[in-house]
């Protein structure tokens, strides 16, 4: 069986995989929610959901530093990776072990396609089609939650880095009615001054922003409205997207 990943690479699987390694936290959670407990044999140290997998599944290093020998010892028949999360060097070595399917998720539609593709490879098409249908309905009713408020989304400190255009974070926030005040692409460094953002959002990941950072950021960006935001709800493409809809509805009550 041949499958095309999101980099337009074709991989071949002899059968439905039963020894899967996931190198992406959000896709690991998706595999769990699809009921693939017995099929997933390895995850990364950052795959914290679900907790029972984090505690009990074999770990194969981090997303950027995969333990190639550990992967080889687990004898996988499919590795699920991501263009942004994993390195080209690791992917090249992993491809010598077994097929590697790579996602590339920058839009909501990309996320839907990733979910459906994983369903096809793992013989869980009914579940993934149902999940995508649920997501389409949920997102279709959430587009005006934040009434076109302009935001800056901070992912790092010292120096400050932002989530710009052509990122999944930007697509998620746009889908709930936010407008990105940062017009550059991907993850630019903030060089000031604040480009007229209504709100500054401090993500809990990858930099662990906390309440103690609120006042400093407010001063540095000359913006009174600074909020902590759950990074998982903004950047985890997969089944967590269903939870994000309720999260943003609740968030809108405090921001508006």
pLDDT tens-digit readout, 15-33? 999 999 999 999 999 999 9
What SS3 state is found at 89?
helix
Assigned CATH topology for domain 2-138: Rossmann fold (3.40.50)
Residue 254 pLDDT: 85
In whole angstroms, give the CA distance from residue 216 to residue 218.
Answer: 5
Residue 158 pLDDT: 94
In whole angstroms, give the CA distance from residue 91 to residue 95.
Answer: 6
Q: Report the candidate in 126, 149, 111 with the shortest Cα–Cα distance to residue 252.
A: 149
245: number of CA atoms within 13 Å, CB side?
15
Instruction: Kindly report the number of other CB atoms within 10 A of residue 205's CB atom.
Output: 15
Beta pairing, strands 2-4 & 10-12: antiparallel
Q: Give the pTM.
A: 0.94
| Phi, psi of 188, rounded to the nearest 5 degrees | -75, 155
Residue 196 pLDDT: 84
Sign of the Cα torsion 44, 28, 69, 90 reads negative
Range(s) of the chain covered by CATH 3.40.50.1980:
2-138, 149-255
User: Which CATH number applies to 149-255: 3.90.110.10, 3.40.50.1980, 3.40.50.300, 3.90.1660.10?
Assistant: 3.40.50.1980
In whole angstroms, give the CA distance from residue 104 to residue 127.
Answer: 21
DSSP character at residue 93: H
| pLDDT tens digits, 79-105 | 999 999 999 999 999 999 999 999 999
User: Tokens 């914290």 identify what position?
Assistant: 48
Sign of the Cα torsion 138, 144, 145, 151 reads positive
Residue 192 pLDDT: 78
Residue 191 pLDDT: 85
Residue 141 pLDDT: 87
Task: Kindly give the parts of the chain with pLDDT less than 50.
Answer: none
| Token pair recorded at residue 20 | 């899967």
Contact 43, 53 (CB under 8 A): yes
Beta pairing, strands 161-162 & 149-156: antiparallel
DSSP character at residue 188: P
């Amino acid at each position: 069986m041949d499958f095309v990943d999101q980099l337009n690479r074709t991989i071949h699987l002899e059968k439905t995989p039963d020894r899967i390694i996931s190198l992406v936290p959000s896709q690991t959670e998706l595999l769990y929610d699809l009921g693939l407990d017995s099929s997933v044999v390895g995850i990364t140290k950052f795959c914290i959901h679900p907790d029972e997998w984090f505690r009990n599944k074999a770990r194969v290093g981090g997303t950027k530093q995969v333990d190639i020998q550990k992967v080889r010892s687990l004898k996988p028949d499919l590795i699920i990776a991501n263009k942004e999360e994993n390195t080209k060097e690791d992917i090249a070595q992993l491809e010598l072990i077994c097929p590697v399917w790579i996602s590339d998720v920058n839009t909501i539609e990309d996320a839907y396609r990733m979910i459906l593709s994983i369903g096809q490879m793992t013989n869980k098409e009914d579940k993934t089609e149902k999940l995508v249908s649920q997501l389409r309905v949920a997102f279709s009713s959430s587009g005006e939650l934040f009434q076109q408020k302009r935001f800056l989304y901070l992912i790092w400190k010292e120096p400050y880095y932002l989530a710009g255009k052509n990122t999944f974070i930007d697509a998620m926030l746009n889908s709930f009615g936010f407008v990105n005040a940062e017009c550059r692409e991907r993850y630019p460094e903030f060089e000031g001054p604040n480009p007229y953002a209504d709100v500054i959002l401090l993500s809990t990941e990858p930099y662990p922003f906390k309440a103690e950072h609120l006042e400093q950021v407010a001063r540095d960006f000359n913006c009174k409205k600074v909020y902590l935001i759950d990074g998982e709800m903004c950047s985890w493409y997969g089944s967590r997207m269903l939870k994000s809809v309720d999260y943003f509805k609740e968030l809108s009550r405090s921001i508006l």
